[in-house]
Amino acid sequence: MTQDFDAIIVGAGQAGPSLAARLTAAGMKTALVERKLFGGTCVNTGCMPTKTLVASAYAAHLARRGADFGIVPAGPVTIDMKRVKARADTVSTKARTNVETWLRGMDGLTVIEGHARFEGPDTLRVGDTLLTAPRIFLNVGGRASVPDMPGVGTVDFLTNTSILQLDAVPRHLVVVGGSYIGLEFAQMHRRFGAEVTVVEKGPRLIGREDEDVSDAIRDILAAEGIAVRTDATCIGFKPHADGVAVDVDCTSGEPTVVGSHVLLAVGRRPNTDDLGLDAAGVKRDARGYIEVDDSLATNVPGIWALGDCNGRGAFTHTAYNDYEIVAANLLDGASRRVSARIPGYALYIDPPLGRVGMTEAEARRSGRNLLVSKRPMTRVGRAIEKDETKGFMKIVADQDTKRILGAAILGTGGDEAIHGILDMMNAGADYPTLQWAVPIHPTVSELIPTMLGDLRPVGREG
């Protein structure tokens, strides 16, 4: 059977559903194909369950710290991991149901469950059905990457998906990969009561960030009793009576760590290998990401790629912004470009890291005349009042243009406070403009104008 549409969307992640709403509202007969869970990674195995778990872990941490605030707990803090898991499941399930209900009730949209694969540039097969359309939008996302590390096939390991099924606290969780996914799970499980070791092949955690950020995060995690093994260039796995033996024969420390559980958090790979892209002539890069231009169009006219599968972003908000770009260009006559996007994101350890724009290292490499201001959270009233004074804030600006180039707020409320800077950068305002804002007291954000007053010149690199 062949069904003809004006538009087909593959994937109900962060871009697909909203795009379906715009296309159908514009009168296009649209099909949306989803092979697994409506809402995709963020809703089911990414942001939503993990941030719900992070909130439970924070509650446990604060409860243990009760005495610091004059609150005397009735007894020791215990973790009911079944209820912790149930809470995360409920949040995910509600969100997934909402997306699915919305899509199924959308006028002009045909929802098709199944795996879509190209048979030609305007034709996709889902089971026995052929779907055709002059416009095809790929929002197929990604999955955990499982590299062919020595012994990986001989042991049980967890990914960001399977670890969500744990309803008991692991005795010893070994987290391989010291970046976003690894660090969020490492800290939450430590706070749930597990022994935790993070194994990172690079010389430092979260290696894309500035060294001072990496160092501060390592200190924060170490203070909670998380063991961190960096420079682990020779990681391997062996079955062990107590779980899994992980070779971390690094430059120092014990050569092997035995964990009851191992989480692989070593990056993601796009879901583009089983999409039949060759049949449509759509180009992928060496890592499998679909190649797109600045408007997210692929090399084949009438096919666009949005979200994690295009390699231009790896976050929910970048996937959603991809939808906004494509919809605005197609339906509103706009000419929006992905290169205009200012990168921003947060790492949800506690305290969180809010980030926008360039790191200081990137700014130095750019050869500009730089101004930098840095302030420890021990000098932020709001943090002192909350007794959450770990971390620091840093802003980097261009001395000549007076534009803010980037910022990092590693500290309580950092994921929210960073938006004051992100919004100003997005508005194209210079830093003296932000300096004149009258922020609310007591907040973390109120120190941003003060920091701008403390900007000092620093040298360039190289």
Ligand X SMILES: Cc1cc2nc3c(=O)[nH]c(=O)nc-3n(C[C@H](O)[C@H](O)[C@H](O)COP(=O)(O)OP(=O)(O)OC[C@H]3O[C@@H](n4cnc5c(N)ncnc54)[C@H](O)[C@@H]3O)c2cc1C
Ligand Y SMILES: NC(=O)c1ccc[n+]([C@@H]2O[C@H](COP(=O)([O-])OP(=O)(O)OC[C@H]3O[C@@H](n4cnc5c(N)ncnc54)[C@H](O)[C@@H]3O)[C@@H](O)[C@H]2O)c1
Site for ligand X in 291-330 (CB under 6 A): 307-308, 314-317, 319
Nearer to ligand X, 52 or 373 (CB): 52
Q: Judged by CB under 6 A, which of 56, 123, 271, 373 binds ligand X? A: 271
Q: Judged by CB under 6 A, which of 24, 41, 56, 197 binds ligand X? A: 41
> Total number of residues binding ligand X (CB under 6 A)?
36
Kindly report whether the peptide bond that precedes residue 270 is cis, defined as omega within 30 degrees of 0: no
Phi-psi region of 155 (alpha: psi -120 to 50; beta: other; left: phi over 0): beta
| CA nearest neighbour of 169 among 239, 82, 246 | 82
Cα angle for residues 262, 267, 272 (degrees, 5° grid): 120
Is 348 a binding residue for ligand Y by CB under 6 A? The answer is yes
Token pair 């690199």 in the structure block, residue:
461
Answer yes or no: are the C-beta atoms of 136 and 7 closer than 8 Å.
yes
| CA nearest neighbour of 394 among 462, 454, 436, 460 | 454
Q: Which does 179 bind (CB under 5 to 8 A by kind): ligand Y, ligand X, none?
A: ligand Y
| CA nearest neighbour of 182 among 249, 230, 150, 142 | 230
Is 345 a binding residue for ligand Y by CB under 6 A? The answer is yes
Q: Which residues are part of the catalytic machinery? A: 441
Is 149 a binding residue for ligand Y by CB under 6 A? The answer is yes
Q: Which does 304 bind (CB under 5 to 8 A by kind): ligand X, ligand Y, none?
A: none
Site for ligand Y in 150-179 (CB under 6 A): 176-179
Residue 441 C-beta: closest distance to ligand Y, Å: 29
Q: Which does 149 bind (CB under 5 to 8 A by kind): ligand Y, ligand X, none?
A: ligand Y
Nearer to ligand Y, 79 or 346 (CB): 346
Is 348 a binding residue for ligand X by CB under 6 A? The answer is yes
| CA nearest neighbour of 321 among 304, 307, 331 | 307
Is 297 a binding residue for ligand Y by CB under 6 A? The answer is no
Cα angle for residues 389, 203, 367 (degrees, 5° grid): 80
Residue 11 C-beta: closest distance to ligand X, Å: 3
What is the C-alpha end-to-end distance of the chain, expressed in Å?
63
Answer yes or no: are the C-beta atoms of 250 and 233 closer than 8 Å.
yes
Is 123 a binding residue for ligand X by CB under 6 A? The answer is no
Backbone angles phi, psi at 409, to 5 degrees: -120, 100
Residues that bind ligand X (CB under 6 A): 10-15, 33-37, 40-42, 46-47, 50-51, 115-116, 139-142, 160, 181, 271, 275, 307-308, 314-317, 319, 348
Binding-site annotation, residues for NAD(+) = 177-184, 200, 267
Residues that bind ligand Y (CB under 6 A): 147, 149, 176-182, 184, 199-202, 207, 232, 235, 265-268, 314-315, 345-348
